[in-house]
């Protein structure tokens, strides 16, 4: 299994799908799994139930996916803040998709559908990058830069990185 982490706008879902196709394995995204299970969009869970409820669902979903999914798994940007999740990730092949502020802001656009960005998208993304980059770096076996690059180029670099490394 290969796990993609990184902040919103890093391209985890797009690159993850491509990578899974190339490896001929399944793809799962924890936000999508949470939405399927709850029958609600992530933003509605934040608004109706609150962030704490979302994080609890996310923690359980990530744990189950790490147990059961065998392929490429993309985690929601904030999933790695949870210490229990951090511990579960330790034995896995974790790839950090790095993105700088300018590209992240470009990719998330107005941030619709991403409740944590409401208000000032650029300031919110900067805050999340500053707070989380050390965590992503600490958990990753490989780091791949995504700034100015197409998803296919990023997926190709991940493929090279993971094929040249022990699982
Ligand atoms: C979040 C990232 C989102 C989603 C939720 C919270 C975060 O996932 O889980 O809006 O805390 O960074 P993506 O990183 O896939 O956008």
pLDDT tens sequence across 100-121: 999 999 898 877 778 787 778 8
Q: What are phi and psi of 63, to 5 degrees?
A: -60, -45
CB-CB contact of 29 with 100 (8 Å): no
H/E run at residue 72: strand 71-74
Q: Which residue has the tokens 């979302």?
A: 54
- Residues 26-48: tens digit of each pLDDT: 999 999 999 999 999 999 999 99
Q: Whose Cα sits closest to atom 6 in ligand 1? A: 78
- Name residue 143's beta-bridge partners: 96
User: How many helices (H) does the chain have, and how many strands (E)?
Assistant: 8, 5
* pLDDT surpassing 70 at residue 151: yes
Of 157, 167, 164, 166, nearest in space to 19 by CA: 157
> In degrees, to the nearest 5, what angle opens at C-alpha 87 toward C-alphas 84 and 90?
150
Q: Whose Cα sits closest to atom 16 in ligand 1? A: 8
CB-CB contact of 139 with 4 (8 Å): no
Does the beta carbon of 78 sit less than 6 angstroms from any atom of ligand 1?
A: yes
**Could you tell me what percent of the chain has a pLDDT over 90?**
84
**Best of 14, 77, 109, 124 for a ligand 1 pocket test (most atoms within 8 Å of beta carbon):** 77
**Best of 36, 110, 114 for a ligand 1 pocket test (most atoms within 8 Å of beta carbon):** 114
Atom of ligand 1 at shortest distance to CA of 115?
10
């Amino acid at each position: 299994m290969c796990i993609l982490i990184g902040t919103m706008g890093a391209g985890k879902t797009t690159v993850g799908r491509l990578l899974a196709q190339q490896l001929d394995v399944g793809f799962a995204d924890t936000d999508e799994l949470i939405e399927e299970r709850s029958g609600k969009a992530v933003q509605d869970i934040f608004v109706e139930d609150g962030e704490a409820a979302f994080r609890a669902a996310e923690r359980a979903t990530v744990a189950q996916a790490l147990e059961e999914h065998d392929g490429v798994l993309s985690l929601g940007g904030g999933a790695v803040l949870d210490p229990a999740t951090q511990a579960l990730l330790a034995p896995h092949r974790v790839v950090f998709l790095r993105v700088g502020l300018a590209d992240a802001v470009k990719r998330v656009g107005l941030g619709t559908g991403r409740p944590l960005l409401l208000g000032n998208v650029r300031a919110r993304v900067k805050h999340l990058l500053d707070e989380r980059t050390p965590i992503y770096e600490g958990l990753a076996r490989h780091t791949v830069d995504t700034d100015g690059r197409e998803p296919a180029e990023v997926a190709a670099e991940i493929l090279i990185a993971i094929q040249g490394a022990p699982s």
